[in-house]
Chain A
């Protein structure tokens, strides 16, 4: 999966690659055009008035003619804006319904995204996959329509899921669930991040969405459904993990690690980053992270593990096998 992660696609709101983001761009360009036209006209009038009616050196001392108002003019500049607003409301309502009330096709992928301070838990209930901070979805193109429907929840405070090239944002609110969907038409990796202030490390709550071609998607699903690798050469590292507090917060399927406060580590090394995008997933960063996460992400809720150097090395060696 490293290759998929390496070709990160940059771009913002105006380079959409997914159906809802396309719909939004269409209406946004329409509104921009109207707003631009209004700006040119009104700012032009303003500028003209300021230049044309400036006081000049040679002016007489007379005050200009006092004009108290004009009903026809007032009527005109009330009615015209009302008409513009009316058109905008219709366009807006149409797009609201087309995005929010879209029917879910039978081939849709279901994903539950749960916001945590400060990372994303990602669950595929139909596929039995649990991962974190990287949402993998199939591309939706001529070969088949496979949009992904997200059920958004929060484990603690309010967060917001935003990947600008794929869709607008929707909040993840505790005690409430929200729905949104994406339908990417182009394979690649797209960047996003939490958009609702959620505490200390709001800035480093990044998400990436990896859009796979169909065959690559099948391979990813199969790989993620495997249990964690049980490489005997790193048995000591596994033992260190299992006998430390790691197991209270993390899951590694096939071991006694079954906590849910932190990200599932079963296939940790298939992910491009650690700490919800705070650093690239290299052995060096991983070691720093396990030793003291606040070096990479100050304020992160995982404590420094205070492992002996030997234990630290073995745990990191073990983690490195979780592909």
Chain B
């Protein structure tokens, strides 16, 4: 109380800003750091909501012939879970990190277009709310049902008026349309920032790999998101104006939707996973105390992944009846992605090799990421083998595979990044002990759930079924998978406690708690609104290394 009064006495302007005023500050902000934090915070809120929906799905599937959740409710749960995790969780959290960190890492004061940045955020925010508002407003026609229930890739013609009555699918279309337009705006902004606003001395070849990946991801968003937006508009025309793009009853094409969706959908996987790589590229070197191994190769491999990933989309469609030549082509392109991806894993091992590895929480999550991403890559290669994919596609093997990517790689690296950059954004460290509990519980839960689901798929369990019959060899596997959710939820709960606890009374971080090397650690924690009082100047990729080791600076070797 005393402190607050003192604060009131100190700043007359502050005194006029109680809760509502603070809120107003956040709403009208165009500061990249605040917008970044709002993206991450908003994404984490939807992460909890969509996570609870996943937990409900696993509750229903824990036992065979279970009737806890009726089929139509189940279908809404799985649709909302998938859609939300991609567009309302993955995209904003990763955009948020780029927003927050790119200007700091390249030594500038904001993104190139701060207002466009705020515009993108609010498009995303309202688009996201629209998706969940469907639970209230989606009925549209009595008895037609509320939230979208067509699956996150919404295959035609299930989305046409004849099969999806009411407004639920329209909410799905508009929500995704808004969030993707917001992301496209962010991509333009990041590209302009990275090309035009780097500090003195930072040539493209001296940018941190993180910034390179932000650039690559932004280009991918520019190329991959518009086809999705276009497809959404076409679907809207089908539903409201009687166009027949995907309306098979009037001669439209169901396969056309699949091409549109996956020409977005597969690059989207890399749009989500490359930021995870970006985090790893910062965290692994700092905790191994070594410079990244093969900087140029890492950059080239990232560009190669982006390029090849634009030509692999039909590997989601091996069962739709393509010609043998078409199948062989997409098998080839898909397997080729494994080469640059493998190179990245080897380079991370190369970075750790000969280092002095500190097993702090960000490094633990990064190590788990390396193992899990290795497995996800190998199961990915299995599914690129078209005949094997005829068995695996649309089964729980696929569900397990992409959760290995989305959780095992991306969520693990998001947690690593939060533990790593939380001190920068808040000025306080997250608690190490709670962090370790979070890590181990989440790790155990993740493996209980998703290791077993591979085998459920091999036993013949298709994805998106709300129930299964007993005695098909699925009972035990599903039960273990569902128990794993309890561990994951406990891990996330401890994480939340850690955040609240550390925000209030965490150890004060100082500007450079990890003894790191990139520019964001050269300013205070949290950084002032203008980031740097004096525009920095760099001579190498690790400006803070040069500063700390004047006898042995990087620029002598690069």
Contact = CB atoms under 8 A, between A and B. Distances in A.
B387 A27 contact: yes
Nearest to A206: B469
B343 A74 contact: yes
Interface residues of A, number: 88
A39 B374 contact: yes
Contact of A192 (B71, B327, B357, B460): B460
Contact of B462 (A39, A100, A175, A194): A194
A160 B321 CA distance: 11
Contacts, number: 277
A33 B468 CA distance: 31
A78 B382 contact: no
Interface stretch (B177-185, B332-340, B425-433, B484-492): B332-340
Contacts of A242: none
Interface in B242-275: 248-249, 251-255
A39 B373 CA distance: 11
A192 B465 CA distance: 13
A54 B151 contact: no
Contacts of A27: 385, 387-388
B345 interface: yes
Interface residues of B, number: 97
A221 interface: no
Given A85-B339, A174-B157, A298-B71, A202 B464 contact: yes
Given A14-B458, A81-B342, A176-B254, A158 B155 contact: yes
Contact of B321 (A82, A176, A203, A204): A176
Contact of B386 (A63, A96, A156, A196): A96
A206 B469 CA distance: 10
Given A55-B358, A169-B390, A12 B71 contact: no
B158 interface: yes
B335 A89 contact: yes
A215 B335 CA distance: 47
Interface in B314-329: 319-321, 323-324, 327-328
B355 A81 contact: no
B459 interface: yes
Contact of B374 (A13, A42, A66, A101): A42
Given A82-B339, A173-B320, 20 more contacts: A28-B382, A31-B388, A42-B349, A46-B352, A50-B367, A55-B289, A64-B288, A74-B347, A78-B343, A85-B336, A89-B328, A93-B324, A158-B254, A170-B390, A176-B255, A179-B321, A195-B394, A197-B151, A206-B469, A299-B71
Interface of A: 10-14, 21, 23-24, 27-28, 31-32, 35, 38-39, 42-43, 45-46, 49-50, 53-56, 59, 63-70, 73-74, 77-78, 81-82, 85, 88-89, 91-93, 95-97, 99-101, 117, 156-158, 160, 162, 164, 167-171, 173-176, 178-179, 191-204, 206, 277, 298-299
